[in-house]
Amino acid sequence: MTQTSVLVLGGTGQISAACVRTALRAGHEVTVVNRGSTTVRPLPDGVEHVVADVRDEEALAAALGDRRFDAVADFLTFTPDDLAATLRVVGGRTGQYVFVGSASTYQKPPAALPITEATPLFNPWSRYARDKIACERLLRDEHQAGRVRATVVRPSHTYDRTHVPLLGGWTVVDRMRRGEPVVVHGDGTSLWALTHADDLADAFVPLLGDERAIGEAFGITAPELLTWNEIARCLADAAGGSLHLVHRTTRDLVEQVPAWDPELRGDRSHPAVFDTSKIRGIVPAWAPRVPFAEGARQIVAWHDADDARRVVDPEADALYDRLTG
């Protein structure tokens, strides 16, 4: 892999922090732009940190000056208006703009499995997904007009040690330790793909500066398929808790908790079975290394290392009491 100068918009989120670490190990020159407001995932030594609000167009332009980069990886843009502003600043100063989209943009429910990069983008339940779709449309137009050289990456449910991938977060794990029941949508047997952030980064970073990725979209998801029952079991086992599952239909849950509608009907209630042959065509050696059983142990260990991380939300706890009672 040739050395590439990379500008990362973000750099301290679940996905972007892992990509920064991996890019450094690969020998790239990495510059990160963010507000410097989080210490959960500190930047590693060797990263140039530029402090600026990416959403402030003038501040971002002033912070970057006349600098150019081989690749820009944008982890912070979620709406087409913000994308247009970001492209005005960085679109002309890079040979590749990598937009981080989402697998939640794929058709829900999918008309066919496995899901591929050619699956239609359509999600009427999630505003987040609809905004990401609108971003992709704008980016496609800009790319076709020759104003930017674009690559799109669509991760599915990606996590790191800070993230409990069940609705309710750490409160659910705490309930398992207390022997309290937890709720899972449907009968818990629909298939889901969880991807550790380090595994995603191993496929993401090789795309930077690769001409074969220009004008293309790539889904990056680990091949391990888990049911939601198995996901809950892995967390219970890692926490040394007991698992008492209560199954409720998605319809019942969204009627009881309307705030869960985008997550459930817009994503988690549908099978997440992906074809990853396209990314493997670019990164043939990619082999995800962290099964969720290990990832669950990392999650529990990180939370247990600091009392302040084990936050139990009393409203979420009461909600689970109501849903499982």
Q: Per residue in 262-271, pLDDT tens?
A: 999 999 999 9
Q: Are residues 90 and 143 in the same domain?
A: yes
Q: Are residues 216 and 233 in the same domain?
A: no
Query: Does any domain span residue 210?
Result: yes
**Could you give the number of structural domains in the chain?**
2
Q: Are residues 314 and 185 in the same domain?
A: yes
Q: Is pLDDT of 246 > 90?
A: yes
**Each residue's pLDDT tens digit, 171-225:** 999 999 999 999 999 999 999 999 999 999 999 999 999 999 999 999 999 999 9
- Give the CATH number of the domain where residue 230 resides: 3.90.25
Query: Does any domain span residue 106?
Result: yes
Q: Are residues 107 and 175 in the same domain?
A: no
Q: Are residues 22 and 131 in the same domain?
A: yes
Query: Does any domain span residue 28?
Result: yes
Query: Does any domain span residue 68?
Result: yes
In this prediction, residue 2 carries a pLDDT of: 63
Q: Are residues 230 and 215 in the same domain?
A: no
Tokens of 94: 């890079």
Query: Does any domain span residue 282?
Result: no
Q: Are residues 65 and 211 in the same domain?
A: yes
Task: Quickly state the pLDDT bin for 38 (edges 50, 70, 90).
Answer: confident
- The mean pLDDT value for 283-302 works out to 97
Query: Does any domain span residue 101?
Result: yes
Interatomic CA distance for residues 325 and 321, integer angstroms: 6
In this prediction, residue 203 carries a pLDDT of: 98
**Among 298, 293, 165, 157, residue whose Cα is nearest residue 222:** 157
Amino acid present at 265: R
Q: Are residues 205 and 177 in the same domain?
A: no
Query: Does any domain span residue 281?
Result: no
Phi-psi map region of 46: left, alpha, beta (phi>0 left; psi -120 to 50 alpha): left
Q: Are residues 18 and 129 in the same domain?
A: yes
Q: What is the mean pLDDT of the chain?
A: 97
**Each residue's pLDDT tens digit, 47-100:** 999 999 999 999 999 999 999 999 999 999 999 999 999 999 999 999 999 999
Q: Are residues 236 and 154 in the same domain?
A: no
- Give the CATH number of the domain where residue 213 resides: 3.40.50.720
Residue 247: give the domain boundaries.
168-192+225-272+291-324
Q: Are residues 237 and 266 in the same domain?
A: yes
- The mean pLDDT value for 2-9 works out to 89
In this prediction, residue 37 carries a pLDDT of: 84
Interatomic CA distance for residues 82 and 64, integer angstroms: 17
Q: Are residues 204 and 256 in the same domain?
A: no
Query: Does any domain span residue 279?
Result: no
Global confidence as pTM: 0.96
- The mean pLDDT value for 145-166 works out to 97
- Please list, residue by residue across 261-279, b when 16 or more beta carbons sit within 10 angstroms of its beta carbon and e when fewer do: ebbbbbbbbbbbbbbbeeb
